[in-house]
Amino acid sequence: MNSDPIVIVGMGIEAPGGVETLPDFWSALASGRELISPFPRDRDWPLDELFALGRLEGWAPVRDAGGFLDGATEFDAQFFGITPREAVAMDPQQRVAMRVAWRALEHAGLNPGLLDGDSAGVWMGVSTVEYGPRVGSVNEYSGYRATGTALGAVAGRISHGLGLIGPSISVDTACASSLTAVHQAASAIRAGECEWALAGGVCVMGSPGAFYEFSKNNALATDGHCRSYAADPTGTLWAEGAGVIVLERQSRAKALGHRIYGQLLGSRVNHNGSGAPIAVPSASAQQRLIEDTVAAAGISADDIGLIEGHGTGTAVGDPLELTALAATYGNPDRTDGPLLGSVKSNTGHAQAASGMLGLIKVLLCGAHGAIAPSLWADAPNTEIDWDATSLRLAAELTDWAPRADGLRYAAVSSFGVAGTNAHAIVGLPVLEETNHG
């Protein structure tokens, strides 16, 4: 195990259901609360057409449900030194990312207003959404749309607003984006490109396009719930969210007196390769990824007590993922097999931010010494033989004791629709206090 690992010293969150603080997020997770709501009515989306898609031949119904951010349309432009017109032209993902990054810095005990000229890096997972008028048209926001629509501006806005001069990179590996961003940020710190970094992911839907796509593909939840790993998955349910963490080496954290919430022991990224259609997951690729990450972390797969899986709630994806997890973490000889869950069962599928919401869930579980329940876990998916594996779904809030070395170990997965897969293993120290907001 690395003697000076990369550690996580701060977090910021924005999740569906009005969640904007870590205590609020933990309260929702610990109580097993679903954070799904009706579609927003203030975005000028064609809801009548959307809800009628199920009447078309070959299309599945779209329910009036999703994991939407309450404050996605709100932004204090003056606070961040941005003019009102430029702020409106900016992709909301830029706005949400800026304020969540600010929260993560404050949680780490850093003053965001005193970072101008610091060489810290920023890596943000984000994917394209349809926001605002076409760039190729004349409108009152012309002149602001180049930066307003560029994915690179999500990380760039954070760096610019804080005055950071280190690497600033937006990462798009679809639903694996935020964990890929964490992997790249940690690699850059290890390589000496920067001493510390912000890493995270954001998703705010500029249009309901994802609902149209998965309605046509018959992979959208038909009942308005994301039933991760359940026996009766009805499809995935789209959501929004944002999460940012602060990363640095353990030696730096201790020297500066920063509280350590987790050690990033290992992370890896791979691709499914050819064979099946590009959007179809690969159990063999996921298994290779997990094995490589465990080797990089320098621990045994049997040390893992919590797995925060991808868990899209689809009839194709969940069984393939469970197959890979059973082959790697499901040692049938274990009597204390790992508990498995997915934050998507609470929030829906937050796309480019989904892996980060899962990672922050894991960090909060470690901080509170308890594993939060995963919803819809009372009847597990029947496509795998649960009697032949030590994997179990986390059906209730469960005390989580550290191992003999004083750490709890957890794994987080995130898989992208274009075939990119990301996995991370974290070691979670015992914290003296339980108020970690």
Strands 6-14, 241-249: pairing is antiparallel
Which of 300-322 are b and which e, b meaning 16 or more Cβ less than 10 Å from the residue's Cβ? Answer: ebbbbbbbbbbbbbbeebbbbbb
Would you mind telling me the total number of residues written for the chain in this entry? 437
At residue 294's C-alpha, the angle toward residues 377 and 301, to 5°, is 55
3-state class (DSSP) for residue 83: coil
Q: Is position 107 annotated as part of the catalytic site?
A: no
Q: Which of 107, 258, 310, 423 is catalytic?
A: 310
Strands 262-271, 241-249: pairing is unpaired
CA distance 124 to 112: 17
CB 310 within 8 A of CB 178: no
Task: Give the list of residues 6+ apart from residue 288 with CB closer than 8 angstroms, or none.
Answer: 270
Bridge partners for 247 per DSSP: 8, 197
Q: Is position 349 annotated as part of the catalytic site?
A: yes
CA distance 190 to 195: 9
CB 411 within 8 A of CB 329: yes
**CA-CA distances (angstroms) from residue 13 to 98, 112, 361?**
11, 16, 10
Q: In the numeric block, which tokens belong to residue 259?
A: 């509280």
Start-to-end C-alpha separation, the chain? 29
* DSSP string of 112-124, one letter each residue: GGG-TT---EEEE
Edge-to-edge strand list for the sheet holding 306-308: 168-171, 121-125, 196-203, 241-249, 6-14, 262-271, 420-429, 407-415, 306-308, 339-341, 392-393
Q: Is position 271 annotated as part of the catalytic site?
A: no
Q: Which of 107, 175, 226, 365 is catalytic?
A: 175
Radius of gyration of the chain (CA): 20
Q: Which of 107, 183, 225, 349 is catalytic?
A: 349
Strands 306-308, 339-341: pairing is parallel
Give catalytic residues, as residue numbers: 175, 310, 349
